[in-house]
Amino acid sequence: ETGVTQTPRHLVMGMTNKKSLKCEQHLGHNAMYWYKQSAKKPLELMFVYSLEERVENNSVPSRFSPECPNSSHLFLHLHTLQPEDSALYLCASSISGGATDTQYFGPGTRLTVL
Partner 1 sequence: DAKTTQPPSMDCAEGRAANLPCNHSTISGNEYVYWYRQIHSQGPQYIIHGLKNNETNEMASLIITEDRKSSTLILPHATLRDTAVYYCIVRVRKNQGGKLIFGQGTELSVKP
Contact between 87 and partner 1 (CB under 8 A)? no
For 4-10, the CB contacts below 8 A with 24+ separation are 4/91, 4/92, 4/93, 4/104, 4/105, 4/106, 5/106, 5/107, 6/89, 6/90, 6/91, 6/106, 6/107, 6/108, 6/109, 7/109, 8/109, 9/107, 9/108, 9/109, 9/110, 10/109, 10/110, 10/112
| 84 is an interface residue for partner 1 by CB under 8 A | no
Q: Taking a C-beta distance cutoff of 8 angstroms, is the pair 83, 114 a contact?
A: yes
104 binds partner 1 (CB under 8 A): yes
Shortest spacing between CB 79 and partner 1, in angstroms: 24
Q: How far is the CB of 73 from partner 1 (least distance, A)?
A: 16
60 binds partner 1 (CB under 8 A): no
Taking the complex as a whole, how short is the minimal distance between the CB of residue 16 and partner 1, in angstroms? 27
Nearer Cβ to partner 1, position 78 or 92? 92
- Please give the residue ranges that form the binding site for partner 1 (CB under 8 A): 1, 4, 6, 31, 33, 42-45, 48-50, 55-56, 88, 90, 92, 94, 96-97, 100-108, 110
